[in-house]
Each structure stands twice: as C-alpha cells, then as structure tokens.
C-alpha cells in the first residue's frame, strides 16, 4: 500500500498529520527546487503554520530538470513524511503543504500561470548555489541564464502580473549564498535589463527579495531508509525525508505582500540576517566541507565517522572557533562557542548517516563563501581550512571517484597542473584571484 490521501486513515496513531482541510487550501507559494531539503524545511514550516491556524499557503513545487520528485510525490497527492532521527529513536510527521509538483521542462505554461495567479504571493527557491547562473565575478552569466533558468520563468510570470495589474511577488532565496536576497535581486535585475528592460523598474519597486538563513541537516534518503519507514508505518512513502530534530530559519522581515505566520512555529523574523548567515556559512558549512574532503581522504564515509576521528574533530573545532568565529559580527542572542558545541553534537548524530560524498558536491560553488572569505579576513594561517583545501584538491583530482561539480573538467585540469594553487586561486584562477599573501599561505600549507 502506498501513501496517498485515500490511505491516510491507515497510518499508525503515532504519525502526526495535518489538522487542516488540505483540499480547502489555496496555493500561495510556488517553490523551485523541491528536493529533500525544502520538504524537511520550508514546506515543513508552512505545514506547521497551517496546522496552527494559518490558511491558504499550499505550495506548488517546481522541478527545473528532473521528473524524479514529481514521480515520487504526485501519485501520493503531494503527501510525504518527515522523520526526525536521533539516537533516541524516530519521530514521523505527515506533511500536507504541497499540492503538486510541476516539471518545468514539461509544463512551462503551468509554471508561469502559477506565478501569475492572483492568489500567489511568494516564489521561493532551493536550487543550490549553481542554480543562480553566476559568472566567476558574481554577475549573471547570460549563457547559463537560459530559457530553463528561474529567471526566465520569473520574468514571464512577473510580466503577466504587471500587465494584469497584480501586486509583485516576494522572491525568497533559501540557498547558501551570502546576502542571498540581495544577490537574487541583483541577478534578477540583470536578467530583466537584458530581456525585458521595461519591467525592471516595476520589479524593483513592487517585488521584495528578503535574505534568509536556513539550517537543517537533511541526508539523501536511501532505499534502506524507505524500507525501514515502510515497516514502521505500514505503507510505502516514495517521497520520505529523513532529518535531524534541529531546525532553524532566520528571515529578513521584508515582504512584498502577505506571508505565512512562520514565526508562530519557530522561524525568526529579524531586521538583519547577516550575522546568522555568516555564522552558518563559515562555521557549519565550512566545517561540513572540511569534514567531507578531509574525511574522504582518511577513508570515512559519513559525517558522524569523520567527527569521531580525533584529528578531524580538532581541525573542525579550530575552523569554527579560531578561524571563522573572529570574523563574524556580534548579534544579540548569537553565542558562537555554544553554537560550535551544538554543531559538534549534531555532526555526531549516528542516526542521520549523512554521506560525506553528498556534502562534497559542487565545491566550486561553495568554497568561496565557506572558506575563502574566512581566509581573507584572518591575519594568521587557518590550519583547518588549509587541511580542507588539501582534501578538496585531492578530491577534484579524482581520488574519491567521479566529481559532481559544474566545473569538474576545469577543476581536474587545475588539480593536475604543476601549480594547483595558482591554477585555482592565482591571477587567472578558476575560482578568482586571492591576494598574493593568501596564495603564498596556501602554497606553504604543508
């Protein structure tokens, strides 16, 4: 038996389920990139807000390329479970916030119509760093921002809203980009300037792009996970998500129109996201990348194995407290030593089975904000980051198998060159030019 609206009644009593009438909810959000993270985070918060009495925030998910998530979710009426796993056991909740999943390559008109609908107020995104089609200098790369990018869909949807006299949208970036809302606003403006310059002024006045910080560890769900869940709940859930009990969502309180009451269910609405965002990027994400590349080099497969390695734990603590923390601005309620201790405890959760090779994906898109900005703001050598760079160069050279990165061929050539540091970070470096003293520090890292 498969999970669906018709089979909800057969779920065990310990599986929490929506308290609202799903069929009565109007779609208010169009979300691009409806992978496991979104289902365990933004959709999970939205479901909780509707459970708390908020209404009409159902989500239409959009897959930009693959039809896999649509095949998982649409036969289940958009339903799926989120299971929080810890050493103490499992806690499963049925999430009903998603109405359907559209595959952009197959349903372009439906995606644009959803963006242009009067009831839609928010378009949100978890498309990973590479989905924003940036060139090496951070500007929009026109060759990447093609018809299948978010910008093309947004431009057409916003044009229809403008022409129909409708309000603008809130564009809510939930990816790990520094100052992500302003980056999205700038990139969208660059796209419009080239493709619909008459719309740019309206976009900049009628729409809003708040910055956000998102945090929840969501490993890729395995067939073994699905089989164990099926045995527990008595039915198959092809879209099941496994995660930790911790979650955090910090949102700049700057919207173009209505929004769910996410703050009623644990999200933080703040005036300035930047200290939280910088702490997460440089401490959590920076340590994750270190553990991934250095852990794979030592033969580990999972985060909990890597953090249990005394040498790697010491490097991770150094990266977080001695290297990253001094570069982060103070903010009320942001206790960086306590944050680092909590991160170590989360990394050590053996029930998550978070694969290092999953974290190692797309390093060229992640390393600038996770490591290089910290390096650039330190006057002393950063041994944690330097160890991570060693592991990354080994990784892009093919030591851990095929490299999943949009720049994989170029990275392989750089790693195999006589001077990988110069090829990656020198004057004509693949990841941009670092100051000469930093390049010297990298070359002297041994």
Among the listed residues 201, 116, 205, 209, the one whose alpha carbon sits nearest the alpha carbon of residue 165:
116
Pairing of strands 89-95, 80-86: antiparallel
Tokens of 246: 């911790």
3-state secondary structure 360-381: CCCHHHHHHHHHHHHHHCCCCC
pTM of the model: 0.87
| pLDDT mean for each 10 residues of the chain (446 residues) | 97 96 97 97 98 97 96 98 91 98 97 98 96 91 89 98 98 94 97 97 98 95 96 98 96 98 97 92 96 98 98 98 92 86 95 94 94 90 93 97 96 95 91 80 70
**pLDDT value at residue 380:** 83
Pairing of strands 241-243, 248-252: unpaired
What are the CA-CA distances from residue 299 to residues 296, 316, 416 (Å)?
Answer: 5, 17, 22
**pLDDT value at residue 310:** 98
Interval 69-112: pLDDT, tens: 999 999 999 999 999 998 888 999 999 999 999 999 999 999 99
Give the whole-angstrom CA distance, residue 76 versus residue 68.
13
In the chain the domains, ranked by start, together with CATH numbers, are: 5-270 (3.40.50.720), 292-443 (1.10.1040.10)
**pLDDT value at residue 87:** 81
Helices marked H in 234-281: 274-279
Give the whole-angstrom CA distance, residue 339 versus residue 205.
37
Give the whole-angstrom CA distance, residue 213 versus residue 273.
7
Helices marked H in 309-402: 310-317, 336-347, 356-359, 363-367, 373-376, 383-396
Give the relative orientation of helices 150-163 and 108-116 as an angle to the nearest 10 degrees.
50
Eight-state DSSP code of residue 207: -
**pLDDT value at residue 446:** 53
């Amino acid at each position: 038996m498969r999970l669906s609206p018709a089979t909800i009644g057969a779920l065990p009593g310990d599986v929490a389920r929506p308290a609202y009438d799903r069929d009565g909810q109007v779609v208010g959000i169009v979300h691009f990139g409806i992978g496991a993270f979104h289902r365990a985070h933004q959709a999970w918060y939205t479901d909780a807000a509707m459970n708390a009495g908020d209404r009409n925030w159902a989500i239409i998910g959009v897959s930009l390329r693959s039809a896999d998530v649509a095949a998982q979710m649409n036969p289940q009426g958009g339903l799926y479970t989120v299971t929080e796993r810890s050493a103490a056991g499992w806690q499963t909740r049925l999430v009903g916030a998603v109405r359907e999943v559209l595959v952009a390559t197959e349903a372009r008109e439906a995606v644009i119509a959803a963006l242009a609908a009067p009831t839609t107020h928010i378009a949100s995104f978890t498309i990973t760093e590479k989905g924003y089609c940036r060139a090496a200098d951070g500007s929009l790369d026109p060759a990447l921002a093609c018809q299948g990018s978010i910008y093309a869909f947004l431009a057409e949807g916003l044009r229809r809203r403008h022409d129909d006299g409708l309000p603008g949208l809130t564009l809510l970036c939930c990816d790990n980009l520094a100052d992500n809302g302003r980056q999205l606003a700038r990139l969208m403006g660059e796209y419009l300037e080239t493709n619909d310059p008459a719309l740019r002024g309206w976009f900049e006045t009628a729409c809003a792009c708040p910055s956000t910080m998102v945090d929840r560890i969501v490993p890729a769900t395995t067939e073994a996970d699905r089989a164990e869940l099926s045995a527990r709940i008595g039915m198959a859930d092809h879209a099941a998500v496994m995660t930790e009990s911790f979650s955090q969502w910090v949102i700049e309180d700057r919207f173009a129109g209505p929004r769910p009451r996410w703050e009623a269910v644990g999200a933080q609405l703040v005036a300035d996201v930047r200290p939280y965002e910088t702490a997460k990027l440089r401490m959590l994400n920076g340590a994750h990348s270190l553990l991934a590349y250095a852990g794979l080099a030592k033969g580990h497969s999972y985060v909990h194995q890597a953090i249990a390695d005394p040498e790697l734990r010491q490097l991770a603590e150094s990266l977080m407290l001695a290297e990253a923390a001094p570069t982060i601005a103070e903010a009320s309620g942001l206790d960086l030593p306590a944050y680092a201790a909590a991160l170590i405890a989360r990394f050590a959760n053996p029930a998550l089975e978070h694969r290092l090779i999953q974290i190692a994906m797309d390093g060229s898109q992640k390393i600038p904000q996770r490591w290089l900005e910290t390096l650039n703001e330190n006057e002393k050598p950063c041994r944690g980051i330097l160890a991570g760079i060693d592991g990354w160069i080994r990784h892009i050279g093919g030591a851990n198998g095929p490299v999943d990165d949009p720049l994989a061929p170029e990275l392989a050539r750089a790693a195999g060159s006589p001077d990988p540091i110069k090829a990656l970070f020198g004057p004509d470096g693949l990841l941009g030019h670092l100051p000469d003293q930093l390049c010297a520090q990298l070359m002297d890292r041994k």
